[in-house]
Structure 1
Amino acid sequence: MAHVLVVDDSSTMRDVVGRYLSKHGFEVVLACDGRDGLAQLRADPAIRLVVSDVNMPNMDGLTMAEKIRTEMGNQDVRIVMLTTEANAELRARGKAIGVTGWIVKPFNGDLVLGPFKKFCGL
């Protein structure tokens, strides 16, 4: 099954999202901020989906997404922002970077998995 990286500075959100994805058969890797997320992604090339918060200490989710696309040159991984931010400017920045989806919290697992399942052929 596909590997999913969940990046959020809230341990509660990491647990909720991680448990949901695990329950649906995904291998889940957790990270506490964008820097940790990049390290996890570099360590596990099997990761196919990143679900990330935007606002985090050390490195925010959009900066992490930008580094995934530019510094790592990874165009294949799907990146979904799961955030409280509904700001159109932030969404536009995300789209320009290569963010695949934008979901405003609260977490809804079907919104995260729906398009990803199609991508994976599930």
Structure 2
Amino acid sequence: MHLLIIEDNADIIANLYSYLEPLGYKLDVARSGKAGVLAATTSAHDAIVLDLSLPAMDGIEVCRQLRQQYQLTTPILMLTARDTEQDKVTGFAVGADDYLVKPYSLAELDARLKALVRRARNEHV
């Protein structure tokens, strides 16, 4: 599975690499919102893991642009510390397919990503 991780925290990026790469994931990283939009619109990915607190453009605006301006249908999982009900509602309203709050289980993240990609490909278990 080919993922785009849009995240600016180096520790989180390293943690995702150390867990997901041995499982066979290919990972691309963008460290700002603007870089994330560029990466998402110029290269194909199976799913996008998107933080909300990003430099240059926050994750809400990234998601909004990818869905509205670029009509991107790639599954987006928001992975963020923003944990209020309104944060989650806003995330889904701008086009997120899933929302996972930090701290999170890497095994759960893996399972959610696999489920999102299965649904996007219309595959069954």
TM-score range, shorter chain: 0.7 to 0.9
Q: 2:19 maps to which residue?
A: 20
Aligned residues: 119
Q: By how many angstroms is 1:54 displaced?
A: 0.7
Q: 1:53 maps to which residue?
A: 51
Q: Which amino acid aligns with 2:107?
A: D
Tell me the TM-score normalized by structure 2.
Answer: 0.86
Tell me the TM-score normalized by structure 1.
Answer: 0.88
Q: 2:88 maps to which residue?
A: 91
Q: Which amino acid aligns with 1:43?
A: T
**8 Å CA contact retained: 1:7, 1:34:** yes
Gaps of 5+ in 2: none
**8 Å CA contact retained: 2:4, 2:30:** yes
Q: 1:109 maps to which residue?
A: 106
Q: By how many angstroms is 1:42 displaced?
A: 1.9
Q: By how many angstroms is 1:18 displaced?
A: 2.5
Q: By how many angstroms is 1:16 displaced?
A: 1.1
What is the identity percentage for the equivalent residue pairs of Structure 1 and Structure 2?
A: 23
Q: By how many angstroms is 1:19 displaced?
A: 2.6
Question: Which runs of 4 or more aligned residues in structure 1 lie more than 4 Å from their structure 2 counterparts after TM superposition?
Answer: none
Gaps of 5+ in 1: none
Q: 2:71 maps to which residue?
A: 73
Q: By how many angstroms is 1:43 displaced?
A: 2.3
1:98 partner SS: coil
